[in-house]
Amino acid sequence: MSHSFPVRIFYEDTDMAGVVYYANYLRYIERARSD
């Protein structure tokens, strides 16, 4: 079973290298779970 949920990544969610900071994944997972 797979699930896809498009998420817009904002600059504030990334580090100086432009990579999404690992702790922000929890926000994305929670947003996908509740929608």
Q: Catalytic residues, which ones? A: 15
Closest C-alpha to 27, from 4, 7, 3, 2:
7
Give the C-alpha separation, 35 to 8, whole Å.
15
Which tokens go with 35? 């929608």
